[in-house]
Amino acid sequence: MSESDEIVLDSTRRLFDDLFPRDEASRRDETAWPAQAWASVEELGLPLALLSEDQGGFGLSAETLAGIMALAGEAALPLPLAETMIATRLLGVSGIEAPQGPLSIAPAPSGGRIQATREGAGLRLSGVLPRVPWGAQAAGIVLVADTAEGPCLALLRPADYRVSAGKNLAGEPRDDVALDGAIDGAFVRPGDCAARDLKALGAAFRAMAMAGSIGRVLAMSVAYANERVQFGRPIGKFQAIQQNLAIVAGQAAASAGAAAIAAEAVSGRGGRLAMAAAKLRTGEAAGIVASIAHQVHGAIGCTHEHSLHIHTRRLWSWRDEFGNEAEWSRELGEHVVGLGADGLWPFVTSL
Amino acid sequence: MLTFPPPPETTSAIETLRREVRDFLAVELKDRKPMDRARTWTGFDADFSRKMGERGWIAMTWPKRYGGHERSALERYVVMEEMLAAGAPVAAHWISDRQSGPLLLKVGTEAQREAILPKIARGECFFAIGMSEPDSGSDLAATRTRATPVEGGFRVNGTKVWTTEAHQCHYMILFCRTGTQEDRKGGTSQFLVDLKTPGITIRPILDVAGEHHFNEIVLEDVFLPQSALVGKLGDGWDQVMGELAFERSGPERFLSSFVLLTELIRELGPDASDEAKAVIGRLTGHLMTLRYLSRSVAGLLQKGENPALHAAVVKDLGALYEQAMPDVVRQLVGIEPSLTSGNDLSEVLGYITLTAPSFSLRGGTREILRGIIARGLGLR
């Protein structure tokens, strides 16, 4: 990792620690939009991090990208950092100026929920984009819609849609966004390319954040096992607890490995299928880790008062966002089955 | 928190090496049936090992003056994973290349290195590991085999078990007691033992598949010269612990059953159900992740670190992955495991079903590994 990357990671860590102290009780009931925190994150330049240096970004290495997203996961960052980073990069590549402020993304929803037709250089849209992260707070939403002429990337501005608020299991805003109108050609770019693969990018970023969250849950569980005394000794001294926490450590390592694969894919190596692998692996780990962490914490971990749920509720949400394990497994499996038995190993070693 | 740094970057030289290995294997393994490919690092074939030695694919990272090739840990890793994925019979030289040779390189005497290492590199000298005993399995420090100092060397008495392929090996690295029984760890040492030494009896222990890989080695008044001591007297425990990172992190810890996965894909064909695709995709995603972690450990070894904890994590994850595979296969294709059905998938499934229990035993049991991980977490 380069020196400048280390500086980025250090300042990110310090900022997140300042803004969102670990497991502070107030975080249990987060509802309001933390505008000041978002301003600080913007000030550090993180939303632009994926852009190249001549575009005003950091030209991040894959390792540092994974590091930033892991920190966001550890901090249970209540901000659309991943979404804004992805949207900013797509807009940058498409030559559309990004609006100031937080942004969100909406992959083309399945099942014809959005009707999209080309209108000159522009696009006419109707339908509802379901569960858009921070849809109400976003200064713009990047959408990839399917039209008869092929996929189109569009920047939606708040005047283009109506939002009805919703949230995920962790209380993070997941808003339905209703569309009914025309988008000017200045904000529309037709064409298909892997870099616009919003759903896979969303999955890759959730995988990275889950790895960070899992690391935090492991640390909390180890600390609790060393503190909590039963039968005259800390419960962490019992082999049954040790063996379970070793399982969590294994899943944490696998998640970190999968997150690194995701980060490399975002940086151009491996593409959608590598992102698929990362999401299915971290999603599986998330379930195992949340379950054992709650078992180790006992009844107190099931209370609103304890902060474990700040992380476990996110894990239970994120594993289903941008495609769950089954969906990504099917897609990766479809590719492998298509390659045939003797194509598997060359595929695995090409990544 | 345990971190796995990014693996060393691959290079065009490494990918050229990969193609050379694949071309070699395409010819050498042309007629090798899936059932035989399933025995890869348990497949003993001295001729094959000699051919690998000729190509410079054993002792790859060792100094040239000992017959090595001074290549990188990543280059060695590529050769290993290609061999395993193809189901090449690499058992004969595997242990000498993986740990016995590196042990001698690290702590052996100059005479030991000069006598042994070039032969290992040529694929002509095979090693067995003399660690476990009837009363000393996971509790390795309970070893009772004893080397007693005598004029000019040591006299050894005791019994070693589970010494894989000892009946076809030339040497054994013997771990035994040289101090008091109370000094559990400090009272142990390692020796280089020629398996033809008088007083050594090797008897087969058949495994659940009815095959002869394991052995019992009885040592009765075996004389070892002073020159057979490996490393320092009393350093046996620390030396063994140093070997374990090599033993636990390699690609054999998640590629032992790879042939079962490829045969499953072959059986399913291009019209596999959605359920089957999901299963294949999941196994592929896990495999990609394990390979990333294992290559990361190879990078740490290359830098001269001792990633014992990382290795324990990789081995535990690899065993979980591989042991689940037979169940996954049988539920998907409704095929019976058999060693004699004549059907490739059924036979591979039969073989892996019978050997899978050993995956979380050999090289450190699951419970021991998790104990090591728990210690790393600060719980012990």
Alpha helices in chain B (DSSP H): 12-28, 34-37, 46-54, 73-86, 91-95, 101-107, 110-121, 236-249, 252-255, 258-268, 274-302, 308-333, 344-359, 366-377
Domain match, A35 and A135 both: no
Domain match, A182 and A204 both: no
Domain match, A254 and A339 both: yes
Taken in order B377, A310, A287, A135, the sign of the CA dihedral is negative
Residue A276 near residue A235 (C-beta atoms within 8 A): no
Domain match, A338 and A216 both: yes
Q: What is the DSSP string of B46-81?
A: HHHHHHHHHTT-SSTTS-GGGT-----HHHHHHHHH
Q: Is B138 on the interface with A (CB under 8 A)?
A: no
Residue whose pair of structure tokens reads 């450590």 in the numeric block: A249
Mean pLDDT of B103-131: 97
Fold of B12-125: Butyryl-Coa Dehydrogenase, subunit A; domain 1 (1.10.540)
Q: With contacts defined as CB-CB under 8 Å, which chain B residues touch A285?
A: none
Mean pLDDT, chain B, whole residue set:
95
Q: Map residue B176 onto helix, strand or coil.
A: strand
CATH number attached to the domain at B250-377: 1.20.140.10
Domain match, A72 and A132 both: no
Domain match, A150 and A256 both: no
CA distance B80 to B261: 18
Q: Is B284 in Cβ contact with A222 (below 8 Å)?
A: no
Residue ranges, chain A, pLDDT below 70: 23, 25-26, 194-195
Instruction: Give me the number of domains chain A comprises.
Output: 3
Alpha-carbon distances, residue B148 vs A15, A344, B153 (angstroms): 63, 54, 8
Residue A286 near residue A215 (C-beta atoms within 8 A): no
Other beta carbons within 10 angstroms of residue B61's beta carbon come to 20
Side-chain-side CA neighbours of residue B190 (13 Å)? 28
Name B287's Cβ contacts closer than 8 Å, sequence gap at least 6.
A348, B254, B258, B261, B321
CATH number of the domain enclosing A167: 2.40.110.10
Domain match, A276 and A156 both: no
Domain match, A8 and A139 both: no
The C-alpha angle with vertex A68 and arms to A257 and B6, in degrees rounded to 5, equals 35
Tell me the residue type at B152: G
Mean pLDDT of B304-333: 94
Residue of B nearest to A349 (CA): B288
- Token reading at B154: 């040591």
Beta strands A174-183 and B200-206, pairing class: unpaired
Q: Which secondary-structure segment (H or E) carries A286? A: helix A271-297
CA distance A197 to A271: 9
**Distance between the two ends of chain B, CA-based, in angstroms?**
15
**Distance between the two ends of chain A, CA-based, in angstroms?**
21
Q: Is A222 on the interface with B (CB under 8 A)?
A: yes
Q: Is A281 on the interface with B (CB under 8 A)?
A: yes
Inside any domain, residue A93: no
CA distance B85 to chain A (A): 7
Query: ipTM strictly over 0.90?
Result: yes
**A118 - beta bridge partners?**
A123
CA distance A215 to chain B (A): 7
Residue A207 near residue A216 (C-beta atoms within 8 A): no
pLDDT tens digits, B56-72: 999 999 999 999 999 99
Tell me how long chain B is. 380
CA distance B15 to A346: 11
CA distance A214 to A247: 12
A&B contacts, CB < 8 Å? 166
Residue-level pLDDT at B85:
97
Domain match, A122 and A201 both: no
Residue whose pair of structure tokens reads 């309001």 in the numeric block: A32
Q: Is A280 in Cβ contact with B282 (below 8 Å)?
A: yes
Beta strands B153-161 and B146-150, pairing class: antiparallel
- Token reading at B348: 């591979």
Residue of B22, B37, B81, B379 best to disrupt the A interface, most CBs of A under 10 A: B379
Domain of A340 in residue numbering reads as 197-350
Binned at pLDDT 50, 70 and 90, residue B1 comes out as low
Domain match, A114 and A186 both: yes
Last residue of a domain, one of A165, A193, A221: A193
Q: At residue B214, what are phi and psi to the nearest 5 degrees? A: -75, 155
pLDDT tens digits, A36-65: 999 999 999 999 988 888 887 888 899 999
**Which residue from B252, B232, B234 is spatially nearest to B89, judged by alpha carbons?**
B252
CA distance B214 to B358: 12
Q: Is A330 on the interface with B (CB under 8 A)?
A: yes
Domain match, A74 and A24 both: yes
**Higher-scoring residue by pLDDT: B10, A132:** A132
Same fold, B12-125 and B129-235: no
Q: What residue segments make up the domains of chain B, in order of their start?
A: 12-125, 129-235, 250-377
Inside any domain, residue A311: yes
Residue B322 near residue B37 (C-beta atoms within 8 A): no
**A123 - beta bridge partners?**
A118, A183
Q: What is the DSSP string of A111-139?
A: TT-EEEEEETTEEEEEEEEEEEETTTT-S
Residue B42 near residue B91 (C-beta atoms within 8 A): yes
Domain match, A202 and A252 both: yes
CA distance B75 to B68: 13
Q: Is A62 on the interface with B (CB under 8 A)?
A: yes
Residue-level pLDDT at A53:
81
pLDDT tens digits, B30-43: 999 999 999 988 89
Q: With contacts defined as CB-CB under 8 Å, which chain B residues touch A289?
A: none
CATH number of the domain enclosing A335: 1.20.140.10
pLDDT of B330 strictly over 70:
yes
DSSP A46: G
Domain with residues B129-235, CATH architecture:
Beta Barrel (2.40)
For residue A20, with 0-12 CB atoms within 10 Å meaning exposed, 13-18 middle and 19 or more buried, which class applies?
A: buried
Inside any domain, residue A91: no
| Cα A3 to the center of its chain, rounded Å | 26
